[in-house]
Chain A
Amino acid sequence: MSEFIQYTLQGLAAGGFYALSALGLAVIFGVLGVVNFSHGACYMLGAVISAVLLGELHVGFWVALVVVPILMFGFGVLMERLLVRWLLALDPLYNFLLTFGLTLILVEAVKQRYGVSGLPYEVPAGLTGQVSIGSVNLSTYAIFACLFSVVVCVAVGLLLTKTRIGMIVRASTEAPERTRALGINVGRWVTPVFGFGIALAGLAGVLAAPTRAITAEMGSNFIIILFAVVVIGGLGSILGAVVAGFLVGLVEAYGIAYAPTYAQIVIFVLMALVVLVRPSGLFGREEVA
């Protein structure tokens, strides 16, 4: 029994992290309708920038947690202004291809500059070791990463649903003409929302740095799991991304525990089942225009 609890807790810990990582993808998709394939690469950039800050400028984890999302926000703003914006009016496939190409450039650029073996990063002081209750124990850092992720997810959810800014953003995307008619500059909101989504990817990268291999390729595999999370949760649904993040974390942990070879396949079996039963995902809206 204690083993089962152990697996469950590990699944939840991983799930919280998946939720945060998928959140930016869901925000950008939900608000702009852009499938940002470069989300994995932005996650990788977040981790790489953290490692470079630590290695070359001796800037630690806690500062990186603030600085990196700000830098990535700037990167997202540039990306939207210079590239994504021009394709918004076209078929979403164009922006998907654009961000796909951008991913290849970012990954190769990091390889050129920092090699392929990866960069070192330490667990921040104070978050090392484990927390044990009876025979069940979890790494302190995993607990921190999970709780931090949940707090960010809730905050983003509240921001979009309970504040005036959130209301404007949602109105701007769901009924741009009518929102414009009410005197709101719709175009103004697209850029910061995109930047915000990219900042969230960078934030997930910072959180990953102490516990995962920091390499140019770290996002390439991860983005697949994130797509599974947003498809299961419902495209563009923030609540869906969070619930699906935990669900995927749990399914993965049980998969590893009871059928290790199939640990990753079960995630996609789950995705297929959800899509079969509810094509728009657990929390997605059915065919709204």
Chain B
Amino acid sequence: MRSRTVQGTVAIAATASLALAACGGAGGPQSGGSSKLTDDKVVIGLLNDQSGVYKDLSGPNSKVAIQMAIDDYKAKYGDKAVAKDIEIVTADHQNKADIANSKAQEMYDRQKADIILDVPNSAAALAVATQAKNKKKLYINIGAGTTALTGASCNKYTFHWAYNTAVLARGTAGTITKEGGTSWNIVYPDYAFGQDMNKSFSAEVTKNGGSVGQSIASPFPSDNFATFITKAGEGSPKVVGSMHAGGDLINFVKQFNQSSLKGKVQLAVGLMFITDIHSLGVDQFAGTQFTDAWYWNFDAQNKKWADRFKEKTNTRPSFAHAANYSAAMNYLEAVQEAGTDDADTIVGKLEGKKINDVFLRNGEIRKADHAVIHDVYLAKVKSSAPEEWDYEDIEKTIPAAEAYGEANPACSMS
């Protein structure tokens, strides 16, 4: 009798563990409500991953970055500041589109947010874009990579500040192929982001005269990449591209470094953040080339800002932290200029604006698709770190126009 119950328990255990991996908590939609923002208060909503894989990349420290922007704005305008009372509200979307959707509604309607910032994870990012459009409130995305934000899903109130998958492909695949890495095999995680990255990278390799022998989809998430790496080495390519992110990327690179491909085949990484290098150790990634939207130790201006950030957080900023600062600062500048926090007026002030600040170099808020284009960088991981977090050599600055290309024709800016 006991063993019968026990078997039932194991069945429940197995099912529950599957269910746990497949889905998580879900938040129901909040009720809508009217909102008027005629008060003096400006409310900035920070909606991102505060507990999962993007926590270190952006997470709670982005609030610190936004607070730095608020402090700088107040210091700059003093008594003349239009926005005297500025509040930050934060929420954790747990990388789930449904939670992002309901949290965005709550921020816009109940917490009276005038703008939502960050929102990593493409599915969550697109859900919030729809909310911004419906509520006619501002939204500046920073953390997500999907080109749909400035393509098919673009809208008047949504801006995309830091990077996108097409930029990563042009920067990394374009440069490596031009430099002689002409034959590629690509391994990508089998979900929207990975499929998107695989397409962008393959297109860019082909466009620059290279060829992609195999594109191999791996289940997400995966722990064991040994056989994927063996397959990726078949046909003796010059470059193996990993389109993974987070834990998958670390698993892939660790196991790649232990494989026979190490030293014979160049490893290119589609999406890498400084937090990934920090967690795996600089020597494991040594020599890997990737595209970075911003690097804290690139020049004196960045370093100075990074030093301020470090005083408050005891860590170095990722590009997402700097971009959150930049987006918040430029939003507040626009409020100052317009004398109001009315969303339509602010959009008018932002569109077409040319910006040079700590994050954006040769930046421009492109009117046609609301991509915030700016110079990006081809980085190479150092073989050893002179100090903690000093992991990248910037090999090349990729000019904004080259990195972002033409405005996305799929965007109709409805």
Query: A-side interface residues toward B, CB under 8 Å?
Result: 3, 6-7, 10-11, 13-14, 29, 33, 35, 37, 91-93, 96, 100, 108, 111, 115-123, 128, 130, 132, 137, 139-142, 210-213, 215, 217-218, 220-225, 227-228, 230-231, 235, 252-253, 256-257, 260-265, 279-280, 287-289
Q: How far is the CB of B56 from chain A (nearest CB, A)?
A: 4
CB of B414 within 8 A of chain A?
A: no
Q: A142 with B56: in contact, given A92-B9, A227-B14 (CB under 8 Å)?
A: no
CA distance A212 to B221 in the complex (A): 12
> Given that A10-B230, A35-B13, A96-B9 are known contacts, is A120 also in contact with B280, CB under 8 Å in the complex?
yes
**Inter-subunit contact A139/B21 (CB<8 Å):** no
Query: In the complex the two chains form, what is the Cα distance from A29 to B6 in whole Å?
Result: 9
A261 to B198, CA, bound (A): 14
Nearest chain-B residue to A140 (Cβ)?
B258
Query: A-B pairs with the 8 shortest C-beta distances?
Result: A120-B281, A213-B250, A117-B279, A139-B258, A118-B279, A256-B227, A92-B9, A213-B247
Bound together, the chains give a CA A122 to CA B12 distance in angstroms of: 37
Q: Which residues from chain A contact B3 at a C-beta distance below 8 Å?
A: 33, 235, 287-289
Most buried by B among A120, A121, A288: A120
* Pairwise interchain contact B53-A116, C-beta atoms closer than 8 A: yes
The total of interchain contacts (Cβ-Cβ below 8 angstroms) comes to 166
Pair B223/A212 contact, Cβ less than 8 Å: yes
A7 in contact with B56 (CB, 8 Å): no
The reply to whether B9 and A257 contact each other, CB–CB distance below 8 Å, is: no
Q: Quick one: which of A100, A115, A257 contacts B227, CB cutoff 8 A?
A: A257
| Contacting residues, chain A, for B53 (C-beta < 8 A) | 116-117, 217
Chain A binder among B124-132, B211-219, B299-307, B352-360 = B211-219
What residue of chain B has the Cβ atom nearest to residue A122's Cβ?
A: B281
* Contacts A/B (CB < 8 Å), 30 sampled: A7-B227, A7-B230, A14-B224, A37-B13, A37-B17, A96-B13, A108-B51, A111-B55, A116-B51, A116-B54, A116-B55, A117-B56, A117-B278, A118-B279, A120-B284, A130-B258, A137-B260, A141-B258, A210-B254, A211-B255, A213-B279, A213-B280, A223-B17, A224-B18, A256-B227, A256-B228, A257-B227, A260-B231, A263-B222, A289-B3
Contacting A at CB under 8 A, from B305-362, are none
Residues of B within 8 A of A220 (CB): 20-21
A142-B258, A222-B223, A287-B4 are contacts. A118–B13 as well, Cβ < 8 Å?
Answer: no
Contact residues in B for A37 (Cβ distance below 8 Å): 13, 16-17
Give bound CA distance, A168 to B161, whole Å.
Answer: 67
Q: Is the CB of B218 within 8 A of A117?
A: no
